[in-house]
Structure 1
């Protein structure tokens, strides 16, 4: 498989970004995320759609959610321009999954399986250096410099209350997507609680086996 078409699923904190970067490097494919695709196509003409605004930019500038219809079209455009890809952050709901089925034939669907308590531990332990923007973790990746450690801050969306709400929303919206691919026999579950290198070994082997 020279340039596979891969979908990676997982809750916030499951490690999708880390594994997606490794996939792009190893298999020479594009990393397609909804956010990047939206930013790259924010001036796309959507006047032919039954939407309130004529470009995605107008939704984004107002802080409003871009309608599914527009997101679907942008993702379709991004995937059609890629010889191979790892798709991260889409589909977020069953309707989008059904749209994706119409857009492309996936070679493999990966699901990074991590328990809620481990996800909470990972996300609530994250800290940011306000001066550099570097991300650390109080247990897994603390800074070596005590001055850096002293100025680290926890982001508002990394408090336990906020994290658990994000995970609740993920379960509500995205678990039907996981079930969708599982019922089709396409879902490959990866134990996301292993060390990152062990997760990567399983991810790489799974993609190669799908060739």
Structure 2
């Protein structure tokens, strides 16, 4: 079997990162995210694109959003360099979905579905060690001592983007921009919707079955 080409989609807090890591390890494919692809190609020469800067690094150093056309080019390079992949975090909008269609043919499109209230519980309950960056959750993954990292003893904090207001905004942006992309993929032969409110192991079992069914 040739290495599969997979797309995983779902809202913030759906567990895409965890499941993408499982996919990459089990199927021997690259886990491609826009963030990783940007960091790996930050010195890429984009001077021919008539953009403000000549490399992605200059946008990143200035704290500016990298333009869509640059993101598209970097994702295409990452996919072309990979012998099979699971694409996570792209496309985020219909315009990027149009670009992706011209880059590659997908074997499976996984849509991880989780209700809004469950997502808010997951997002707002996350706590991060201020020293080592280890993640915990006040409900699902508690440290031995409240507010203290098990590994290094650092203080556990709530990041600004995990507050209720920030989480609501992230989900609003997702619903407006990315949910329409999922709808357009429902006609894809390899589209599978997965119940993301199950345990991580149950979600993984469903994902494995979906991949195996469409790539055997």
TM above 0.5: yes
Match of 1:11 in 2: 11
Q: Does 1:208 align with 2:212?
A: yes
Distance in 2 of aligned mates of 1:133 and 1:59: 25
Q: Does 1:141 align with 2:145?
A: no
Q: Does the CA contact (< 8 Å) of 2:190 and 2:214 recur in 1? A: no
Distance in 2 of aligned mates of 1:187 and 1:177: 12
Match of 1:107 in 2: 107
Match of 2:127 in 1: 127
Deviations 1:16-62 (A, max 9, x none): 00000000110000000000000111111111112111111111111
Q: Does the CA contact (< 8 Å) of 1:2 and 1:27 recur in 2? A: no
Q: Does 1:81 align with 2:85?
A: no
Deviations 1:149-181 (A, max 9, x none): 693211111011110000000111101110110
Match of 1:199 in 2: 203
Distance in 1 of aligned mates of 2:158 and 2:14: 19
Match of 2:156 in 1: 152
Match of 2:174 in 1: 170
Distance in 2 of aligned mates of 1:135 and 1:7: 25
Distance in 1 of aligned mates of 2:40 and 2:12: 23
Deviations 1:86-119 (A, max 9, x none): 0001001001111101100000000000001000
CA drift at 1:132: 2.1
Distance in 1 of aligned mates of 2:182 and 2:214: 18
Distance in 2 of aligned mates of 1:3 and 1:147: 43
Q: Does the CA contact (< 8 Å) of 1:178 and 1:187 recur in 2? A: no
SS in 1 for 2:178: helix
Structure 1, gaps ≥5 residues long: none
Superposition CA RMSD, Å = 1.4
Please list, as runs of the form range in 1=range in 2, the aligned pairs for 1:55-70 lying within 5 A after superposition: 55-70=55-70
**Per the alignment, do residues 35 and 147 of structure 1 end up closer, same or farther by CA in structure 2, a change over 3 Å counting?**
closer
CA drift at 1:191: 0.2
**Please, what TM-score do these two structures have when normalized by structure 1?**
0.96
Structure 2, gaps ≥5 residues long: none
**Please, what TM-score do these two structures have when normalized by structure 2?**
0.94
Please list, as runs of the form range in 1=range in 2, the aligned pairs for 1:33-52 lying within 5 A after superposition: 33-52=33-52
SS in 2 for 1:106: coil
Give every structure 1 segment of 4 or more consecutive aligned residues whose post-TM-superposition deviation is greater than 4 Å: none
CA drift at 1:185: 4.7
